[in-house]
A and B are shown apart, each in its own frame.
Chain A
């Protein structure tokens, strides 16, 4: 926040601290007050400590499940592994089929009603059926994650491919571009930002998907762990698991944002500026033959 840094300086002399800094301190103060209220309320019995464990108890649980007992790692590993596999498979399938359907008007017209019906159905409702069909273990879980990951990339890729700028298509035609060239150099790159938006939704959905699968199957994974802890009324540990997921969700969000800045850089002015400088430097060695 370059601008806000300046404002604090008004009133003469050097600013004691920037507005950004002051804001952060305010946030921290409010947060700590809330936590203190929670702790206090839980201790004096305003909040039922059975269901709303004290923050200090949650901290203790964090320590236990990560360090002393260290049992959460295995479950995290299992869950995140499934998220990764299911997301990769589901979103690749989504992008691939989306592109295929997008390029093919006949297939598109034929599939349209099915897509609408499937889109209106909450995908997660199908989860028990998948488990019944695929049994226990990883396969039904991966299938569920794929199911919840598939649609956003599919729909977004489809619309990205269908809504290519008409004028650019005409330009490519006037330059004698082949179908394949138009696809590779125009249609797909132009669809990248909207595909990325779909991937973002898909990855978030994958996290929910694995939890639902684990809630139903109750075997292992972070979802099964939360279930076990709540059934044993160990709410502090359940909260520690939930906050772990908060952090993972946040990291996923940030990670996708970074990825989007890299891949669809032209949609972000700061990333575009950086890329432009990079291209200028790369041009320095003006060598032959290579594609620009």
Chain B
């Protein structure tokens, strides 16, 4: 690679992705307000098929910006980026996004919300309906298919949003603090389920969080980001076998990684 400076060196040396790269970025940068706000600078990364990457870092370090760039919701200011080998030019069907808020349509039942992406792509068939019902079952909402968002708890709403994300058929899933607004118990529970589900789908996942423990627990690699300007400071590999239990978080090996991520965050 033709990287000139050492700024992104840690990310470079943090191990090449195990499979074929699905998401690829070279020197990705984004500025706002006519260049006066540098949201992200010189991010270079490769994410392999089926890999789970967490992005962690303090507020304003460009995590959401990076996700929105990958999703094609906003355009690059500098650098190159591709998904499945195609340069990202705008929103695309093979990339799906989930936000901190469930953003469900209140006038639709859970299953109608899950079917929304299919509906936007054409007509809904009986097969689509069955698929949506299966997805709701997968996220544990079999008995709430016909509930409206206002009848569901925050955690259940996020489950619907996850089912909707899977219904898009995207194999690159971008999750921006998806459970950040939920209480800790619900969040831990959903994290475990998320791991199981994305593994089952073989989806490539990028997961943004403020929580270092959560980031490490879920990920194959943790992208550590630092602010002013936003940078991808390091990619820390996490080599614990799967499936993982919550008790993993209390092992010394796990805490070594937590320290390592924390030091990377602190040294910038």
Residue numbers of A with Cβ under 8 A of B are: 165, 167-168, 170-178, 181, 185-186, 189-190, 192, 265-266, 269, 272-273, 275-277, 279-280, 283, 286-292
Contacts and interface: CB of A to CB of B under 8 A. Distances in A.
A289 B123 contact: yes
Q: Which among A172, A174, A176, A286 has the greatest number of chain B C-beta atoms within 10 A?
A: A174
B254 interface: no
A223 B116 CA distance: 51
B3 interface: no
Contacts of A178: 120
Given A292-B111, A292-B115, A292-B124, A171 B99 contact: yes
A177 B107 contact: no
Interface in B89-109: 91-93, 95-97, 99, 101, 103, 105-107, 109
A289 B125 contact: yes
B169 to A, nearest CB: 11
A72 to B, nearest CB: 42
A288 B101 CA distance: 32
B150 A176 contact: no
B126 A174 contact: no
B99 A170 contact: yes
Given A167-B103, A170-B73, A291 B119 contact: yes
Interface in B76-100: 91-93, 95-97, 99
B71 A174 contact: yes
Contacts, number: 93
Contacts of A176: 91-93, 120-121
B150 A269 contact: yes
B117 A175 contact: yes
Interface of B: 71-73, 91-93, 95-97, 99, 101, 103, 105-107, 109, 111-112, 115-117, 119-121, 123-127, 129-130, 145-151, 168
Contacts of B168: 175
A266 B149 CA distance: 9
In the A-B complex, list the 5 residue pairs whose CB atoms are closest, starting with the nearest: A288-B126, A280-B146, A266-B106, A174-B97, A279-B146
A181 B126 contact: no
A157 B204 CA distance: 41
Contacts of B93: 176
19 contacts: A167-B99, A170-B99, A174-B95, A175-B116, A175-B120, A176-B91, A176-B93, A178-B120, A185-B116, A266-B107, A269-B150, A269-B151, A272-B148, A272-B150, A276-B109, A280-B146, A288-B126, A289-B124, A292-B119
Q: Which among A165, A265, A279, A287 has the greatest number of chain B C-beta atoms within 10 A?
A: A279
Contact of B126 (A186, A266, A287): A287
Nearest to A169: B103
A266 B150 contact: yes
B103 A173 contact: no
Q: Which among B95, B105, B127, B149 has the greatest number of chain A C-beta atoms within 10 A?
A: B105
Contacts of A276: 109, 146-148, 151
